[in-house]
Amino acid sequence: MTVIATLLLAFAAGLLGPVGTAWAGSVHDGASQPVYSYADAIRETVWVDTGLDGVRGGAGHDRVAADIIRPREPAAHGRRIPVIMDASPYYSCCGRGNDSQVKTYDANGNPLQFPLYYDNYFVPRGYAVVLVDLAGTNRSDGCVDVGGASDVTSAKAVVDWLNGRATGYSARTAGTPVRAGWADGSVGMIGKSWDGTVANGVAATGVAGLKTIVPISAISDWYDYYRSQGAPLYQGTPADLASYVEDPATTAKCAAEQADLAAGAPYDGDWNGFWQQRDYVADASKVKASVFVVHGMQDLNVRADEFGPWWDALAARGVPRKIWLSQTGHVDPFDYRRSAWVDTLHSWFDHYLMGVDNGIDRQPMADIERAPDQWSTDAKWPAPGTRQDLVALAPGTLGAGAGGTVGFTDDPTRDENAWAADVDRTTPDKTVFSSGVLQHDLRVSGSGSLTLTVASSTTSAHLSAVLVDVGPAVIRDYQGAGEGINTLTTQSCWGEGTPTDTGCFMDTSAATAQVGATVFSRGWIDLGHYASLDQQRPLTPGAPYRMTVQLAPTDHVVPAGHRLALIVAGTDANLIDPPDTRPTLTVDLSHSQLRLPLTAGADTVTPGQPPAPTMAPSTAPLTVLRPTQQRDALADLR
């Protein structure tokens, strides 16, 4: 035993006192303290009955594996403790975190390494950490259904077991019943990407005992992950994703589920019952847990439009909530703001799982990254004083035709970076509107929308809209290999460790890029869904169609001296798939409008400034942003 471990045990013994004295617990000075031994913690696996038969073979209910690590001392004193839970499909196939850690086991199948730092940091502070293999992955029965009943129920069943409402067993088959008598019933779910998505889904069931969730770069509506208002996003299919994470031995048994995944997600982008089952926003009214949302505003995998509707629905219900928005892509805050993140998460879990009155519920709601490693806070989000302002789209000299119309021809080889690079140059594949040079900072906080009346020359058409901050800046390199971070050669340790689970992780730094323009919000639609998302329809060439493009939520300040630009074009290469024709699109400006959530205030817009600029084309040449990297056809949700 190390000197540190010995001292910790001595400290713990002093707090616990001799047998028969009052049990002090781990909370002191307004925070849980690392007073328990990580090395001596109880490590075990329980298989929880989900009540489902995923392989549809009639052989009985599926059981999912819950690997548990919990401090030994509270159990010895008959004291119950809260749980931090991460339910994931990635514990064997792909790994978790920037270090891609997987679960490891000894020769008898007992857990050794618990991926990520949750166990190392929180177990000594009096929490149990439970890592659940989603149905069909690693050591769990069943089939992966990508956000449906199997995913959500396999995690919810563990919450129920921790609250005495489900049955757990000592083995995957047969075994003896196991109770969670050590758990106090308070559960907090956390996780990045698919893991955080499951946390959203479980919260939307309203399950009792789930006190908080921390979804990081998570999905709230699977339709919006694969489709954007009917337009197919460059993400592969749910069936592909299931095959990617499933236990190979299970895949052959899951043919029926695979068929359902293929049939339920047609390429035409129609909304149906398959997607309805995977829309957690629709059930936000059931959420009882507090929610701490974390997202990268430049995440082009799980895009920012995934947190926006979820946040708005939670706000309407008055759910206690907090939000961090970074400039990164698909990155965990542990890897871009490590110390502040761990401190904040510690306070969050202490408050909502242990009941510590540490004031985190009264702190500013929002932390926003303004530039690499530079953060600001707001009491609420969107920022106080934000209002939806109408921004006029005025015809100008660039691309404007007679009668207040503009037009462009879809070029599926071009993307938003190419458009931004040519923001002041006439090209046939786009139309640009610009505010002119701003005299004051202009803050966009929340979700905007662009309503267009458009005619297509062909029977099918996709449309893209992006907001651009035109001007020099240093940003996180969200399109680089690390999506805004560099992985260094050094390590730092968080919490306690053992030789098989050290609690040490690779350090990181901000990866930056010098740019001449920054795309900070985007949206896409399929014009064939002009009448309804339920059914794609062929367009009548030359006929006008009116649709509203929902722009992804953001919080961005366009500084004085820069310009705000709107680019409207066809296919955004590598982000959406092209239509089956190559249309020329004509926009009727007299029946089109842009709405932006603009914030008035001393730190954003000088009082007396007009609430919104008129945007018209402008003409100085500008070269910005390198071409985007090719993205894999199969999205990796890790």
Q: How many CB atoms lie within 10 A of CB 621?
A: 9
Q: How far apart, in whole angstroms, are the C-alpha atoms of residue 383 and residue 602?
A: 13
Is residue 477 classed as helix, strand or coil in its secondary structure? Answer: coil
The number of C-alpha atoms within 13 Å of 232 and in the hemisphere containing its C-beta is 18
Pairing mode of beta strands 231-232, 81-88: unpaired
Residue 106 CA, distance from chain mean position? 33
Residue 536 and residue 269 in contact, taking contact as beta carbons nearer than 8 Å:
yes
Task: State phi, psi for 450 to the nearest 5 degrees.
Answer: -130, 115
CA angle, corner 126, sides to 122 and 128, nearest 5? 70
Packing angle of the helix pair 149-162, 194-203 (nearest 10 deg): 70
Q: Give bridge partners of residue 45 from the DSSP assignment.
A: 67
Packing angle of the helix pair 255-264, 238-245 (nearest 10 deg): 150
Look at residues 469, 470, 454 and name the one whose alpha carbon lies nearest to residue 408.
Answer: 454
Q: How far apart, in whole angstroms, are the C-alpha atoms of residue 334 and residue 504?
A: 12
Q: How many CB atoms lie within 10 A of CB 156?
A: 25
Q: Is the N-terminal amide bond of 177 cis, ω within 30° of 0?
A: no
Residue 122 and residue 129 in contact, taking contact as beta carbons nearer than 8 Å:
yes
Residues labelled catalytic: 193, 299, 330
Q: In 516-550, which positions are buried (b, 16+ CB within 10 angstroms) versus exposed (e)? A: ebbbbbbbbbbbbbbeebeebeebeeeeebebebb
Task: State phi, psi for 175 to the nearest 5 degrees.
Answer: 75, 180
Give strand ranges (E) for 412-460. 430-434, 442-446, 449-456
Is residue 330 classed as helix, strand or coil in its secondary structure? Answer: coil
CA angle, corner 373, sides to 372 and 376, nearest 5? 105
Task: State phi, psi for 567 to the nearest 5 degrees.
Answer: -115, 130
Q: How far apart, in whole angstroms, are the C-alpha atoms of residue 189 and residue 211?
A: 8
